[in-house]
Amino acid sequence: MISVQDLIRKKRDGQVLSREEIEFLIGGISSGEISDYQISAWAMAVYFQGMDERETRDLAVAMANSGDVVDLSSIQGITVDKHSTGGVGDKTTLAVIPLVAAAGIPVAKMSGRGLGHTGGTIDKFESIPGMKVEKNFTDFIAQVNVVKAAVISQTGNLVPADKRLYAIRDVTATVDSIPLIASSIMSKKLASGAEGIVLDVKVGSGAFMKNRQQALQLAEIMVSIGKGAGRQVVAILTDMSQPLGFNIGNSLEVIEAVDLLAGDGPTDLLEISLELAAHMMVLGKKFDQVAEARNYAAELLTSGKALDKFMEMITAQGGIIKLNKADRGLKMAAIQQPVQSAISGYVNQLDAYQVGHTAMSLGAGREQINDVIDHSVGIQLLKKRGDYVQAGETIAVIHASQEKHLSDAEAGIRAAYEIGPEKPEPTPLIIDIVT
Ligand code: URA
């Protein structure tokens, strides 16, 4: 007979758990038979002792099978999905879905809401007036077959073991453990059913993984989990030391993604979106070579076909976006306050975590799972790493709903910028690719 105490003890002492033991544990987490304090103790043991590759794979698969496993076989074509490990200003999903769908590859996207300093894709879509992200499964599949793209909020019973385990990890300082992150992310990807998965593993202050070595470890284990479960998986390590693009906050990020699709987006967002879309097109068997797929993705942007596809998907889900660049019809914050630089010099650092945390404190994100977010608020950056700033020049604009948030937000933005006399060396946006 397996006992939870024995499994906690084994992990505490650095031993390896068998598949049967892991399945027992996940079964007890899902059914509620194992208590919160035993789960916390086990998670802390994993945090300190880690898990080997086989254990991590077994954990991901056991979690994936803890609830509904989505069957996408009625979708015509090879279904592909993408996942970001979470960053600040990361609106790539909004651009990548229509790019890939415009190439004729079906994208059945199930996304989550944000927690902490990183935003969630569903929150961004919900800032579009009228947009419905709750759809029954039959309608979801039907939309993917007609439009080639649909996005819904993750269903109630997708990976219930992760919901409980993540909620406990969140309050017991056990989130940042590579085997726990890898199994949490991959269990949801496996249960979501796509055949091809592109993982955007963020690296830097705004990401879970602060350096390349940790990120590579996470990427390799996630690719191994996916391949072990018979999926095609590619992981791309991308820079998250500063926010992606200029806009942080839900409405602001949708506006920036639409600008990108309309051919007028920031270069870092463009580069990462094209790279992710190209890998998805290769997994979807539209192209053999990533370079060829990338050129095609760029053409879909210039021809306006990707923007048309985005509008088609939004309209199919009741959303309304205006094609007027000056006013996309999204709810904007009542107060827009510029922040000026006190000194002249080059932006040497723009700390993504600090910017994300500041946006969250304005109401753009959630500190607790049940917090209500304000889609209109956020931060618009006017200067990024390497840019020259004159003393008195505006470096960022705070979009706030309440006066009382302004002074802390301004202090947060000032703390994020490090301005100095030397121009910093440019750093690569795409750091590594794991296949
Ligand atoms: N995202 C997840 O879904 N799970 C984690 O553990 C960390 C990030």
Q: Is 212:237 a contact under the CB 8 Å cutoff? A: yes
Mutate to test the pocket of ligand 1, among 181, 186, 240 (most ligand atoms within 8 A of CB): 181
The rounded Å distance from CA 341 to ligand 1 centre is 36
179: closest CA among 206, 203, 231, 214? 214
188 is catalytic: yes
Report the sign of the C-alpha dihedral through residues 360, 363, 365, 369, in that order: positive
Check pLDDT > 80 for residue 155. Answer: no
Q: Name all domains of the chain by residue range, CATH numbers in brackets.
A: 4-50 (1.20.970.10), 80-316 (3.40.1030.10), 335-420 (3.90.1170.30)
Question: Which ligand 1 atom is at minimum distance from the Cα of 112?
Answer: 3
375 is catalytic: no
* CA distances (Å), origin 267, targets 67, 244, 373, 384, 427: 40, 10, 28, 12, 14
Q: Which of 58, 90, 162, 259 is catalytic?
A: 162
Check pLDDT > 90 for residue 154. Answer: no
Using a 6 Å cutoff on CB, does residue 184 contact ligand 1? yes
279 is catalytic: no
pLDDT at 434: 97
pLDDT at 321: 96
pTM: 0.95
Mean pLDDT of 318-341: 96
Structure tokens at 400: 């706030």
* Percent of the chain at pLDDT exceeding 70: 100
9 is catalytic: no
Using a 6 Å cutoff on CB, does residue 43 contact ligand 1? no
The rounded Å distance from CA 370 to ligand 1 centre is 17
d(CA 80, CA 198): 8
Q: Is 322:247 a contact under the CB 8 Å cutoff? A: no
Q: How confident is the model at residue 207 (pLDDT cuts 50, 70, 90)?
A: very high
28: closest CA among 69, 62, 70, 68? 62
144: closest CA among 112, 105, 113? 105
d(CA 381, CA 181): 30
pLDDT at 368: 80
pLDDT at 1: 87
162 is catalytic: yes
pLDDT at 113: 84
pLDDT at 20: 98
- DSSP class of residue 404 equals G
The rounded Å distance from CA 115 to ligand 1 centre is 10
* CA distances (Å), origin 13, targets 5, 40, 59, 134: 12, 16, 19, 44
d(CA 181, CA 203): 14
* Percent of the chain at pLDDT exceeding 90: 93
Using a 6 Å cutoff on CB, does residue 181 contact ligand 1? yes
Check pLDDT > 90 for residue 85. Answer: yes
Report the nearest-CA residue for atom 7 of ligand 1: 181
* CA distances (Å), origin 127, targets 168, 330, 355: 29, 7, 20
Check pLDDT > 90 for residue 370. Answer: no
d(CA 243, CA 384): 9
- Counting DSSP H helices and E strands in the chain, the numbers are 16, 13
The rounded Å distance from CA 243 to ligand 1 centre is 19
Residue type, 398: I
Per-residue pLDDT of 41-69, as tens digits, reads 999 999 999 999 999 999 999 999 999 99
Residue type, 162: D
Q: Is 113:120 a contact under the CB 8 Å cutoff? A: yes
The rounded Å distance from CA 409 to ligand 1 centre is 27
Per-residue pLDDT of 27-36, as tens digits, reads 999 999 999 9
Using a 6 Å cutoff on CB, does residue 114 contact ligand 1? no
pLDDT at 367: 82
pLDDT at 144: 97
Q: Where are the alpha helices (DSSP H) in 104-211?
A: 121-126, 137-147, 160-170, 178-192
62: closest CA among 100, 29, 87, 101? 29
Using a 6 Å cutoff on CB, does residue 185 contact ligand 1? yes
Per-residue pLDDT of 235-280, as tens digits, reads 999 999 999 999 999 999 999 999 999 999 999 999 999 999 999 9
Question: Which ligand 1 atom is at minimum distance from the Cα of 169?
Answer: 6
Supply the mean pLDDT for the chain: 96
Question: Which ligand 1 atom is at minimum distance from the Cα of 180?
Answer: 6
